[in-house]
Amino acid sequence: MTATYLSNAQLPNQYGNFTIHVFTDENGVEHPALTMGKLEETPLARIHSICTTGDVFGSKRCDCQSQLHVAMRMIAESGNGILIYLRHQEGRGIGLGNKIRAYALQEQGFDTVRANVALGYAADMRNYDIAAEILRHFGIGKIRLMTNNPAKIEAMQTNRIEVVERVSLWTAQNPHNAPYIDAKKQKMKHMEG
């Protein structure tokens, strides 16, 4: 997958003064990246998959919005980092409509993994090649990756991006997202601490 650079501008937000950059992939999907600092050494990095229900509407069924905001705060505190927002990966790659169908199955007792499989999809269909291309655009070959997902670490290493440190990104559970977080730990081997 290739990343074509489009433009950048300043984007001050509640955490600090970021620069927003926009890339397109070969399918024309636009992926923003927020940066802060000179991205030298081994910057903090977050690869965040779009979650319309969480990031935009504040759903309590997941931990996506809190992870997004914690990542921006951590980058601002370090003064050197990048957040890549992948816009083609809603619902672990099944799309928003199918994600809502999976939610309906979860309301019948399915966990997040079983729901995706029941709809005819793999548990996780995401691909992180475009994120590696975006990192290479900035000359980044080594990162301190903010993630709990071992698949992201493996994907970076496969794409020749060295993960020199995994930075935990656990956020608070609530009654609505506890089953989701438990399924990520038990079935997808997401790491704690």
The catalytic residues are 124, 126
What letters, b where the CB count within 10 A reaches 16 and e where it falls short, cover 60-82? ebbbbbbbbebbbebbbeeebbb
With beta carbons less than 8 A apart as the criterion, state whether 26 and 2 touch: yes
Who's near 57: CB < 8 A, 6+ residues apart?
A: none
Please name the helix (run of DSSP H) or strand (run of DSSP E) that holds residue 110, with its range, or none. none
d(CA 137, CA 132): 9
With beta carbons less than 8 A apart as the criterion, state whether 3 and 23 touch: yes
